[in-house]
Chains A and B, each alone.
Chain A
């Protein structure tokens, strides 16, 4: 190893370590084309996919819960209806009906006493007919009641109970009694029916069944008061007003959309148990990523304080017996490079007042939709300035002169030139900054799920279009027009 000299690695590292070479302009053009083919990167795209999956899962879970709840409610309603039917019939038959029947029995007995045998025979036929008819009715009622149907069944069942008179008490114990019980309870039985059909006149007038006239005469007159009593029209019991507050997050479906934090008190007027009107005024703080529009403009500014530093060397150049002076002028100057670019975005506040109609699907799940009135400031374009100061440049210029000739000094501007425009040509921001506000009208649809007595979860979609405002080929109002999805957590203050 030699102990003197320069190590070859160090030599190359010092000389070529900072080697630079300007790539040809075509390189940028090729790169630009390649970049154009790349789909625009949406801010938070990865998160957005997760969000969609999350929303889908949440919706699926909600659907499951709601379906289960609805099914359970329907089952519970049926059970309640069955219980109510039985209770109503029991109460009606043991009270009013029996008293009325007693009175009628007395009347009927008197009437029968006045009648002759032929009349009694006719009556017995009527008994038979009337017995057959309610029996059929009851057969239907028993089936329909067993199928857990409504009040009309209960009316029929009650009417039947009256017609059957003596069997009222036993009927009231349950709806699912057999039709034969009705015949038996009427006190006539199958044998009595046969006699009546054959026109046997002797048995009926001599020992008139006290219950038979009651069933044969005016069953409809008895029905009415009972039916009125069985279906009393009561007012629905529910609160008219509901008051609460919701807070959450809103994001858009496209890349131009902002991210918004939302807080919204709401007041709800319940027209019926299912239908209500809701006012939900909101304040939204919106955050929009800065988006560049237009092309940046480059300016330069010569620094007056440094000016140009001139240095020159002079040499004698002999040319075919003559002498020329070669004077090498060297200029150094500093300048600032200024780049002006334009973006729009940042934060802005929105106020909205939706008027919504809400429809309850189940006890805890409801959907709503309506008109949304939104107010916000118009989005503006912001100008940015990027400055790089004190950039030094050096340039040489050579001048040849004959002896005795004055040496012209080349002007600095012809030796040192700059790219871009002089800063004196800058006339202010390229795009106007709007200060006006804008009211716009849109729609809002969503659903609400109450997962406890006080707490509820809402998801909705809203959009309020606005006319396009194209600046440098970009619609800066697209942020306002974009559809948004919102998730909020609500708390009922007054329920």
Chain B
């Protein structure tokens, strides 16, 4: 059972994080700035799993594009590392780059010109006891089963805490469409969770 050790995501607030201490991070960043390939690899190893997790929430099925976005994101991270001012979380800085790269991709690839005017706020609560039986993977698959536009809006709204206005700007859609997509995504997810419970 020779397994490799899975490093806990440095983005994770809970659990046993091995995110380097501030001083170690400074050394690591300094080494990366000195073009040390070893340090760059270390930084990549530390932060790529979490970044890839974020990307895969948006592009679960499209492995090639997901890797390309990861590549783009870390290329930006490593070549613009001198712009990190050590103010604020380094993980947050990387995450912002990753999400921006994803949204750039989505803006080009997710088209939604159809107007959706009517927005009905639906009940978005599910039975908490039965939900516990659903595994992590199943939940991930549920999100991936959503149509592209809805999955994107849902991800940006729920995980990145963007407002509808911001989502509308990012995806070049109007705010109503964003609301409609979110509600529809919630409705679909609720239906799927309920069907899983049966």
Q: CB-defined interface of B138-157 with A at 8 Å, one 1/0 digit per residue?
A: 01100100000000001001
Q: Does B62 sit at the interface, judged by CB under 8 A?
A: no
Q: Does B56 sit at the interface, judged by CB under 8 A?
A: yes
Interface centre among A23, A410, A415, A417 (most CB of B within 10 A): A23
Q: Does A7 sit at the interface, judged by CB under 8 A?
A: yes
Q: Which residues of B contact A391 (CB under 8 A)?
A: 5, 16, 18
Q: What is the CA–CA distance of A1 and B42 in the complex, to the nearest angstrom?
A: 48
The reply to whether B16 and A341 form a contact with Cβ atoms under 8 Å apart is no
User: What residue in chain A is nearest B66 (Cβ atoms)?
Assistant: A23
Closest chain B CB from A13 CB (angstroms): 6
Q: Does B113 sit at the interface, judged by CB under 8 A?
A: no
Among A4, A20, A289, A384, which residue has its beta carbon within 8 angstroms of that of B11?
A: A20
Q: Does A147 sit at the interface, judged by CB under 8 A?
A: no
With A21-B49, A292-B39, A388-B24 in contact, do A8 and B67 touch (Cβ < 8 Å)?
no
Q: Does B169 sit at the interface, judged by CB under 8 A?
A: no
With A38-B79, A341-B38 in contact, do A9 and B24 touch (Cβ < 8 Å)?
no
Q: What is the CA–CA distance of A27 and B67 in the complex, to the nearest angstrom?
A: 6
The reply to whether A8 and B48 form a contact with Cβ atoms under 8 Å apart is no
Closest chain B CB from A45 CB (angstroms): 11
The reply to whether B53 and A289 form a contact with Cβ atoms under 8 Å apart is no
Dominant secondary structure at the A interface: mixed
Q: Does A296 sit at the interface, judged by CB under 8 A?
A: yes
Q: Which residues of B contact A393 (CB under 8 A)?
A: 5
The reply to whether A18 and B67 form a contact with Cβ atoms under 8 Å apart is no
Q: What is the CA–CA distance of A413 and B50 in the complex, to the nearest angstrom?
A: 28
Of the four ranges (under 10, 10 to 19, 20 to 34, 35 or more), the interface on chain B belongs to 35 or more
Q: CB-defined interface of B43-75 with A at 8 Å, one 1/0 digit per residue?
A: 010001110111011000000000100110011
User: What residue in chain A is nearest B81 (Cβ atoms)?
Assistant: A41
Closest chain B CB from A105 CB (angstroms): 95
Q: Which residues of B contact A38 (CB under 8 A)?
A: 79
Q: What is the CA–CA distance of A15 and B18 in the complex, to the nearest angstrom?
A: 21
Q: Does A319 sit at the interface, judged by CB under 8 A?
A: no
The reply to whether A21 and B35 form a contact with Cβ atoms under 8 Å apart is no
The reply to whether A417 and B3 form a contact with Cβ atoms under 8 Å apart is yes
Q: Does A291 sit at the interface, judged by CB under 8 A?
A: yes
The reply to whether B57 and A16 form a contact with Cβ atoms under 8 Å apart is yes
Known: A12-B159, A22-B52, A386-B24. 10 other contacts (CB 8 A): A2-B125, A6-B128, A9-B157, A12-B154, A27-B70, A31-B44, A31-B78, A296-B39, A384-B27, A388-B20
Q: Which residues of A contact B36 (CB under 8 A)?
A: 292, 296, 341, 343
Q: What is the CA–CA distance of A419 and B18 in the complex, to the nearest angstrom?
A: 15
Among B3, B14, B127, B143, which residue has its beta carbon within 8 angstroms of that of A395?
A: B3
The reply to whether A9 and B124 form a contact with Cβ atoms under 8 Å apart is yes
The reply to whether A418 and B5 form a contact with Cβ atoms under 8 Å apart is yes
Closest chain B CB from A409 CB (angstroms): 14
Q: Does B178 sit at the interface, judged by CB under 8 A?
A: no
Q: Which residues of A contact B71 (CB under 8 A)?
A: 27, 30-31, 34
Interface centre among A12, A13, A35, A414 (most CB of B within 10 A): A12
Q: What is the CA–CA distance of A415 and B1 in the complex, to the nearest angstrom?
A: 6
Q: Which residues of A contact B4 (CB under 8 A)?
A: 419
User: What residue in chain B is nearest A345 (Cβ atoms)?
Assistant: B34
Closest chain B CB from A287 CB (angstroms): 14
Chosen A-B contacts, 8 in total, with CB atoms closer than 8 Å, are A17-B159, A20-B53, A28-B44, A31-B71, A35-B78, A289-B34, A296-B38, A386-B27
With A1-B125, A9-B124, A386-B27 in contact, do A16 and B143 touch (Cβ < 8 Å)?
yes
With A337-B18, A418-B5 in contact, do A1 and B123 touch (Cβ < 8 Å)?
yes
User: What residue in chain A is nearest B78 (Cβ atoms)?
Assistant: A35
Closest chain B CB from A194 CB (angstroms): 97
Among A6, A32, A291, which residue has its beta carbon within 8 angstroms of that of B37?
A: A32
Q: Does A82 sit at the interface, judged by CB under 8 A?
A: no
Q: What is the CA–CA distance of A339 and B39 in the complex, to the nearest angstrom?
A: 10
The reply to whether A27 and B48 form a contact with Cβ atoms under 8 Å apart is yes
Q: Which residues of A contact B44 (CB under 8 A)?
A: 28, 31
Closest chain B CB from A401 CB (angstroms): 17
Q: CB-defined interface of A320-357 with B at 8 Å, one 1/0 digit per residue?
A: 00000000000000000101010100000000000000
With A6-B126, A9-B124, A12-B158 in contact, do A24 and B18 touch (Cβ < 8 Å)?
no
The reply to whether A5 and B128 form a contact with Cβ atoms under 8 Å apart is yes
Q: What is the CA–CA distance of A2 and B74 in the complex, to the nearest angstrom?
A: 43
Q: What is the CA–CA distance of A289 and B35 in the complex, to the nearest angstrom?
A: 11
Q: Does B181 sit at the interface, judged by CB under 8 A?
A: no
Interface centre among A13, A22, A40, A415 (most CB of B within 10 A): A22
Closest chain B CB from A92 CB (angstroms): 77
Q: Does A467 sit at the interface, judged by CB under 8 A?
A: no
Q: Which residues of A contact B126 (CB under 8 A)?
A: 5-6, 8, 11
Q: What is the CA–CA distance of A34 and B39 in the complex, to the nearest angstrom?
A: 16
